């Protein structure tokens, strides 16, 4: 196959990756800075036999992709801050009913309407805890256009494999930057589809609590009849007030990602072996951190970095180990320190955690990070 080499925007990489991952349904509502995803898919999905729907609002968009997924179609929606807030109740519904969906949030400044055209990383805690109740969630955070493509494919694979909503957290910089990318032949991608039931119709338990913790999922219309509800339910899918069944269901729901954590967690270590000062970064802020690391190393300062790719579940163990090796960990992020709190918790009193924060809508300058590094010498 001829090489697919492009100058591509991050948002377009999401759209193309979704199609290559098998997505055939998109429902959404235009919102800056994610609208290019919807615009591109409105043209591309019909070309591959898919469907595009512009919904009346973000709540309906989230409900539509849940419905499409229940019918067996890999489904996507994309939004930004205010729209992500509106999606939260239905994200919770997808969590408790274990419906695979992918939600892209191209982060902008907030709260409320905030900074519609400027970058932020202030939705990272909302991605984890935006919907109420204890619930499972995966959130991935790319730092380049190429990585955005591959992480979108991974988002669909993880959603299908673990039966959870997966949040792809870009920020406006990654969503709108143009970079050279070489896309793979879709035939060479590893594509994961949901586990299907093989037992007779009458024996199917849609929420069976077996050793895998991930029940097989029948698509609507395939002959398996089952109940889907946002209420706590037993293995049959029907609501229950039996305390033992309630506990069993909720423990399974919230433990399944922990069981597969080694498969889910992704992070990148750079020159951590001899580091005495550490950086922990993600998304576009990690690009600035990488430049600062190189500058510090050029001056003989032993700096290392962990770049987080799977933001939730959080790579607590890796950060803990790093925090025992270095004297300080600097966390640059375009918010007031949301992930710095997680890093402080993870190091358990090891390294001192310092912050470089920016909330003006401007990106973090590598010089700011380098200056903070020098304060630690």
User: Do 224 and 331 belong together in one domain?
Assistant: no
User: Do 219 and 316 belong together in one domain?
Assistant: no
Residue with tokens 């905030």: 114
User: Do 161 and 30 belong together in one domain?
Assistant: yes
> Is residue 121 in a domain?
yes
Please give the pLDDT value at position 2. 64
> Is residue 195 in a domain?
no
> Is residue 194 in a domain?
no
Among 18, 341, 35, 29, CA closest to 166? 18
User: Do 70 and 183 belong together in one domain?
Assistant: yes
Whether 363 contacts 284, CB under 8 Å: yes
Question: What's the structural domain count of the chain?
Answer: 3
pTM passes above 0.85: yes
For 165, 166, 215, 238, 314, the CA distances from 256, given in Å and listed in that order, are 13, 14, 11, 21, 15
Instruction: Return the C-alpha torsion angle 12, 25, 206, 93, nearest 10.
Output: 70
> Is residue 196 in a domain?
no
User: Residue 365 sits in which domain range?
Assistant: 267-375
Give the residues of the chain that fall short of pLDDT 70: 1-2
> Is residue 193 in a domain?
no
Query: Tens digits of per-residue pLDDT, 66-94?
Result: 999 999 999 999 999 999 999 999 999 99
Contacts of residue 37, Cβ cutoff 8 Å, sequence gap at least 6 = 11, 12, 14, 15, 28, 78, 104, 106
Q: Of the candidates 262, 282, 314, which is a domain's last residue?
A: 262
Whether 40 contacts 175, CB under 8 Å: no
User: Do 222 and 272 belong together in one domain?
Assistant: no
Token pair of 117 as six digits? 């055209």
User: Do 77 and 166 belong together in one domain?
Assistant: yes
User: Do 184 and 206 belong together in one domain?
Assistant: no
Please give the pLDDT value at position 3. 73
Query: Tens digits of per-residue pLDDT, 306-328?
Result: 999 999 999 999 999 999 999 99
Q: Of the candidates 238, 262, 286, which is a domain's last residue?
A: 262
Q: How many CA atoms lie within 13 A of 57 on its CB side?
A: 6
User: Do 22 and 121 belong together in one domain?
Assistant: yes
Backbone angles phi, psi at 325, to 5 degrees: -95, -30
- Domain with residue 294: its CATH number is 3.40.50.920
- Domain with residue 30: its CATH number is 3.40.50.970
Give the DSSP H or E segment for 338: helix 338-347
User: Do 279 and 238 belong together in one domain?
Assistant: no
> Is residue 40 in a domain?
yes
> Is residue 255 in a domain?
yes
User: Do 137 and 54 belong together in one domain?
Assistant: yes
User: Do 84 and 176 belong together in one domain?
Assistant: yes
Q: Of the candidates 156, 188, 220, which is a domain's last residue?
A: 188
User: Do 172 and 253 belong together in one domain?
Assistant: no
């Amino acid at each position: 196959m001829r090489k697919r080499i492009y100058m591509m925007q991050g948002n377009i990489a999401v759209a193309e990756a979704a199609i290559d991952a098998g997505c055939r349904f998109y429902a959404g509502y235009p919102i800056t800075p994610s609208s290019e995803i919807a615009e591109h898919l409105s043209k591309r999905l019909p070309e591959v036999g898919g469907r595009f729907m512009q919904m009346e609002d973000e709540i309906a968009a989230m409900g539509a992709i849940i419905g499409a997924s229940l019918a067996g179609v890999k489904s996507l929606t994309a939004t930004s801050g205010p729209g992500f807030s509106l999606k939260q109740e239905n994200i919770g519904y997808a969590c408790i009913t274990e419906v695979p969906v992918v939600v892209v949030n191209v982060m902008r400044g907030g709260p409320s309407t905030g900074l519609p055209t400027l970058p932020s990383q202030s939705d990272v805690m909302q991605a984890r805890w935006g919907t109420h109740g204890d619930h499972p969630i995966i959130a991935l955070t790319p730092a380049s256009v190429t990585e955005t493509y591959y992480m979108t494919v991974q988002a669909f694979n993880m959603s299908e494999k673990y039966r959870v909503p997966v949040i792809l957290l870009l920020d406006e910089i990654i969503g709108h930057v143009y970079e050279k990318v070489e896309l793979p032949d879709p035939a060479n991608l590893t594509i994961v589809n949901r586990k299907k039931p093989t037992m007779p119709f009458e024996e199917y338990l849609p929420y069976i609590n077996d050793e895998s913790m991930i029940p097989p999922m029948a698509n609507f219309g395939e002959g398996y009849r089952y109940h889907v509800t946002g209420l706590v339910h037993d293995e049959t899918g029907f609501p229950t007030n039996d305390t033992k069944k309630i506990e069993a269901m909720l423990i399974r729901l919230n433990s399944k990602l922990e069981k597969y954590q080694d498969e889910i967690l992704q992070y990148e270590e750079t020159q951590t072996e001899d580091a005495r000062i550490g950086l922990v970064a993600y998304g576009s802020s990690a690009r600035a951190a990488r430049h600062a690391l190189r500058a510090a190393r050029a001056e003989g300062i032993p700096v290392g970095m962990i770049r987080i790719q799977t933001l939730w579940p959080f790579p607590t163990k890796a950060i803990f180990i790093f925090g025992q090796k270095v004297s300080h960990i600097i966390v640059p992020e375009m918010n007031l320190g949301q992930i710095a709190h997680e890093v402080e918790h993870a190091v358990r009193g090891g390294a001192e955690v310092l912050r470089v924060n920016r909330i003006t809508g401007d990106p973090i300058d590598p010089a700011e990070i380098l200056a903070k590094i020098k304060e630690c010498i």
